[in-house]
Amino acid sequence: MSRLTDPAILARYKQALAEWSVEGTVELVGRVHEGLRTTLEGVTVRGFKEALFRFVCEKDGEIDQVKEEREPWRDQWEWHYDLRPTIDGVLVYVETRLFPESFTSREEPTVYIVQFKPA
């Protein structure tokens, strides 16, 4: 794993997070809602999304770009992106995916939060 340094990918990632309050730009997938509720009691989904925005865009928090090697995701995604922010005093691990992965697409970027747990 290494820090995300590609300026094009980083710009698209930050573009999606900057729109955290717009439905569809930062999406929680699967059991992430449950993890959020049990790990960060009292933090709303909206507050969580805003915290991720602040971590990445305002505090220059580190994003790790990880080549996807796990079944079945490696056939669907080239990369996933890991964040480790501290939210309400709790260090958490957040696994995300950036869609679309193709930069030839005209679609607006979306960050999918696919895993969340205490770090």
In 3D space, the residue among 105, 106, 73 whose CA is nearest the CA of residue 96 turns out to be 73
Find where tokens 């699967």 sit: 30
Count structural domains, the chain: 1
pTM equals: 0.92
pLDDT in tens, the chain (119 residues): 689 999 989 999 999 999 999 999 999 999 999 999 999 999 999 999 999 999 999 999 999 999 989 888 788 888 999 999 999 999 999 999 999 866 666 688 999 999 999 99
User: What is the pLDDT, as a whole number, of residue 101?
Assistant: 66
User: What is the pLDDT, as a whole number, of residue 97?
Assistant: 96
Range of the domain at 69: 2-118
Question: What CATH number is associated with residue 25?
Answer: 3.30.2310
- How far is the C-alpha of 86 from the C-alpha of 63, rounded, in Å? 13
